[in-house]
Structure 1
């Protein structure tokens, strides 16, 4: 066993970053507990260890999973086809109301935004305190019919085997939604009456961008409370608990990569395939573009702008097994260009995940073109998805893709258009078109190191180290503290619509198993049920502490 020492740090303030960790130090958060925890911890003990409670909780989550709430990219708007949406979400709303009758009938103000978004308000007694917003989403990704036989249990069975609960939405993200309501139900039963208003924001189309759900809910909250009026927003995301280089890390997401879908098309004259118009058909030209695009991958960037920088600084400070040269390179990376390059090389080669945490990703996901084997294709298109690095921007990403289009266009005497604007004159041979809409810039940075961060980090340590393993012999930590560090995920969440409400947006869902082990979005999606119980325990404790916070 090795020792981990808390390191004192000087917090710096930067207008763009807010408060951040200094470059070469990583603090161990002090544990934070609700008042009276040592006098009475019977409720959290019941959540974690009582078999009857476990089974009741499993039944609640199982029932939620059994209600199919799939959404698709092609779904109509709510106004266009209200019956379509009612068929999906009316049964789920009915289930929630029947499962949590006291909350829905007595405790919460229930509002339906854009028909199926749920805005639930637990009014606090002190209106001078900023409300807290807790998020989850009701919808799930579709299950492909071709994969149904590959599932161990049917995707909407909600099967519980005593250890895991299986089914679509069990890990993303009905577990969080049900866990929030379960913790609230327990707080009500305990006599808890909040001083700080608690708002639950449950969208219904997060998996297809959140335009109908979270966007309209955030607008309602903004109209009601105003900009920068919210204590904090907490949603899914981040990495709950991972062991990396012999360090246990909890990584609340304090930013998100940007996102951009680029539609690349080539238009050329048609004709009979027996007389091609040159060396390349439009399909060949698009193939050249894709070839060059995939060979022109974005390089990694390792700076304090990215929460991943601080995550790896923490690993370097606390890991007993990270190679010494890598450790030193990471610790020196902010000020030493040679060390920075070595750190980038390490992250780029360590895993695909670490590579794309520090770089913009490129994925050609859709391609269409051609109608007949003896007809030259006049129009072909591809869709390229980028997840934009924290240090980059939409403009930088578009310029990167445009450079490749210009190169192929020059070599083949073609024009170039960007969002229908002609940048290089169209020729008789045709043109490249680059089109995009609704881009998402990288998210603003949540301050790290301030009082709210310390509270969140302290509760995370409390739940993992003091609550989750009442039998210390079964604890994986063996007396070693969990290190809470800022992180990011490679995807995006509904928090994109809540930036104007607060600087304090945390993307974090407690639990034991990393997301990859839950098969979220895939065949055999499931959750280790201990992780679900930790969600309930976390919010039961967290909401009590937040209610008393006056920072």
Structure 2
């Protein structure tokens, strides 16, 4: 027995040594860079964003787009940024999407692409009264600009154009070609905008060094275990699949319910899906994220991140506690529509449920259907795919110079910031460009934006100006 205990003790000691060694050699992946001097900006940039918000460039799911709002918005942009629209080649795609081509000095250097979109989501009428300022007013209040689109995505669009106009005023000519891709239907899948433009780029054999679209943010508190400011840069994005579940069981009068009804069986299926989620995994993307933030954490958290092989269950448990964290480590399941019944005393003979899945890269529609079939275990329920969905496989290489360049540029606008690659939880227009380049990044240079797709969408003026600074440096220093 003593010999066994001695062996256990030695093995435990070896384990402790391995853990400590891996922790102490878990080196930072951050780059050392000095803050760049802030560019001088007057309040005209604020006025430009305010006026941009005034245009109700709303995308509706039923495709009822008010083209006059987009046309008016584009006319305003031409007036506000005369050098951009006179010095760059403008091309309209499907009438409302735009490509701006800024010719560089050298055709040998691969171009870069900056993306943004003009359209915004609607305002729910029931929530209008909850806004602190009218949703399309662009009101300035307590240091913030309020309005739909300030974050998603007119804030980025105006910041890009402001920085380009300033560079042109200074006589700057980029080394490489720069393309601005400005879609008009991102909020309804970007089929006539970004997808069409991606196909044009493919036909023209335009192979960018990298593409930068909306996605990640700068955050002071959203990374679990990290007490430093972080910038999360999307190197991939989740896909989506939507399934409709349908069951028919003869109904009848509510005074004589049968043991099994359509609505009961569908409710059970929905509960089973909730109780049987996709498994949590520390995918290579998540592991990369942890390898960038882990060395910057307090010792205990750093130890866990350095030894994921041992502490993976603890890490997954920690991330599963929040909606965003849980979505990072698994394919998520969300019941978004449940339909059944038309009268209080009539048992319905049919029930349907619409389930939306946000999938990890590599998860296909077939994988989702198989998971649902196994989880609900009810052959009477018909599983109907809604559309083809989206199953992205693109993952940017973080060892490529393009990622390091973006990391360095972020470091120039924020002191001691931790930059990390991560998985974008939503879909962006940039997904259509995966055949043009694998180096697609998603990052919006604003800190902890508020009201995204909800009430009181707003941007802090200082953050908006900092975003202009970011795009200015990104274009100016690229070689």
TM-score, normalization by structure 1: 0.78
Distance change in 2, residues 1:390/1:459 (3 Å): same
| Separation in structure 2 between the aligned mates of residue 123 and residue 162 of structure 1, nearest angstrom | 40
Instruction: Tell me, yes or no, if the aligned pair for 2:237 and 2:425 is still in contact at 8 Å.
Output: yes
| Separation in structure 2 between the aligned mates of residue 309 and residue 31 of structure 1, nearest angstrom | 25
- Alignment deviations for residues 446-498 of structure 1 (CA, whole Å, 9 cap, x no partner): 00022222111111101213xxxxxxxxxxxxxxx222111123211111111
| Separation in structure 2 between the aligned mates of residue 32 and residue 366 of structure 1, nearest angstrom | 50
Instruction: Tell me, yes or no, if the aligned pair for 2:218 and 2:229 is still in contact at 8 Å.
Output: no
Q: Which of 335, 341, 344 pairs up with 1:373?
A: 344
- Alignment deviations for residues 531-550 of structure 1 (CA, whole Å, 9 cap, x no partner): 1111111111111221x2xx
Runs of 4+ in structure 1 deviating by more than 6 angstroms, as ranges, are none
For 1:142-221, list aligned pairs within 5 A: 142-161=122-141, 163-221=143-201
Instruction: Tell me, yes or no, if the aligned pair for 1:261 and 1:437 is still in contact at 8 Å.
Output: yes
Distance change in 2, residues 1:205/1:32 (3 Å): farther
Partner of residue 19, structure 2: none
- Alignment deviations for residues 327-360 of structure 1 (CA, whole Å, 9 cap, x no partner): 3232111xx3x422222222223x3221221111
For residue 369 of structure 1, report the CA deviation from its aligned partner.
1.9
| Separation in structure 2 between the aligned mates of residue 445 and residue 178 of structure 1, nearest angstrom | 28
| Separation in structure 1 between the aligned mates of residue 39 and residue 430 of structure 2, nearest angstrom | 32
Partner of residue 378, structure 2: 408
- Alignment deviations for residues 35-78 of structure 1 (CA, whole Å, 9 cap, x no partner): xx7xxx5xx4313xxxxx1x2111000000011111111115xx
| Separation in structure 1 between the aligned mates of residue 39 and residue 472 of structure 2, nearest angstrom | 11
| Separation in structure 2 between the aligned mates of residue 24 and residue 268 of structure 1, nearest angstrom | 59
Q: Could you say what secondary structure the match of 1:254 adopts?
A: strand
Partner of residue 448, structure 2: 514
1:56 partnered with 2:44: yes
- Alignment deviations for residues 431-456 of structure 1 (CA, whole Å, 9 cap, x no partner): 52332322211442100022222111
1:445 partnered with 2:395: yes
Partner of residue 268, structure 1: 249
1:327 partnered with 2:327: no
Partner of residue 237, structure 2: 256
For residue 248 of structure 1, report the CA deviation from its aligned partner.
2.3
Instruction: Tell me, yes or no, if the aligned pair for 1:267 and 1:432 is still in contact at 8 Å.
Output: no
| Separation in structure 2 between the aligned mates of residue 173 and residue 443 of structure 1, nearest angstrom | 24
For residue 162 of structure 1, report the CA deviation from its aligned partner.
5.9
For residue 392 of structure 1, report the CA deviation from its aligned partner.
4.0
Instruction: Tell me, yes or no, if the aligned pair for 1:288 and 1:408 is still in contact at 8 Å.
Output: no
1:301 partnered with 2:281: yes
Distance change in 2, residues 1:300/1:187 (3 Å): same
Query: C-alpha root-mean-square deviation of aligned residues, in Å?
Result: 2.1
Partner of residue 503, structure 1: 438
| Separation in structure 1 between the aligned mates of residue 243 and residue 317 of structure 2, nearest angstrom | 28
Distance change in 2, residues 1:391/1:432 (3 Å): closer
Partner of residue 4, structure 1: none
| Separation in structure 2 between the aligned mates of residue 115 and residue 45 of structure 1, nearest angstrom | 35
| Separation in structure 2 between the aligned mates of residue 168 and residue 502 of structure 1, nearest angstrom | 31
Q: Could you say what secondary structure the match of 1:524 adopts?
A: coil
1:527 partnered with 2:462: no
Q: Could you say what secondary structure the match of 2:176 adopts?
A: coil
| Separation in structure 2 between the aligned mates of residue 298 and residue 147 of structure 1, nearest angstrom | 33
1:542 partnered with 2:474: yes
Partner of residue 15, structure 2: none
Instruction: Tell me, yes or no, if the aligned pair for 2:58 and 2:66 is still in contact at 8 Å.
Output: no
